[in-house]
């Protein structure tokens, strides 16, 4: 089932599909929306990136080299290059996906996801609305959050 089918089904069931801004901890970055057609996204992204970013898929655990990335640097959205996280926000959650305890202000939007029946908080890139992952309340301090990200949805740029 792809994203459109799910949203249609949720609409029929009367379940809201509203994307809202996540609460940033500092002044948000200015973000201009990027809206492209499916055909342009398919040309711009690999098949795996398209599945995750556009159809809200999930990559297999432990499949991303970014899960074990330890260098200093920054993480951008693989779809539109928006800066989402810094290496200082990353930690090893033991889940098999790159995890972060926070995000850069204004970088992500959230919505409620009912794909597994029970509600979860899904987050997306604030610019292209590309699916990144889910946020959970079992992360480290100072936020207590775990932004569990699909590595294929990210681009890492090492600090030089």
Question: Which residue in 75, 72, 50 sits closest to 155, CA to CA?
Answer: 75
Q: Which domains does the chain have, with CATH numbers?
A: 31-158 (2.170.150.20)
CA–CA gap between residue 90 and residue 118 (Å, rounded):
27
What positions carry a catalytic annotation? 148
pTM of the shown model: 0.81
pLDDT in tens for each of the 160 residues of the chain? Answer: 444 443 334 433 333 344 445 544 455 667 889 999 999 999 999 999 999 999 999 999 999 999 999 999 999 999 999 999 999 999 999 999 999 999 999 999 999 878 777 888 999 999 999 999 999 999 999 999 999 999 999 999 999 8
């Amino acid at each position: 089932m792809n994203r459109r089918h799910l949203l249609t089904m949720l609409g029929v069931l009367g379940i809201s599909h509203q994307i809202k801004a996540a609460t940033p901890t500092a002044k948000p970055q200015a973000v201009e929306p990027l809206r492209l057609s499916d055909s342009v996204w398919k040309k711009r992204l690999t098949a795996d990136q398209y599945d995750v970013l556009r159809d809200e898929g999930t990559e297999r655990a432990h499949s991303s080299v970014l899960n074990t990335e330890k260098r200093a640097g920054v993480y951008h959205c693989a779809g539109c290059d928006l800066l989402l996280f810094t290496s200082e926000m990353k930690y090893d959650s033991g889940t098999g996906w790159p995890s972060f305890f926070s995000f850069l202000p204004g970088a992500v939007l959230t919505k409620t996801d009912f794909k597994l029946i029970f509600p979860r908080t899904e987050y997306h890139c604030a610019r292209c609305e590309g699916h990144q992952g889910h946020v959970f309340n079992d992360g480290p301090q100072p936020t207590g959050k775990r932004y569990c990200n699909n590595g294929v949805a990210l681009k890492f740029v090492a600090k030089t």
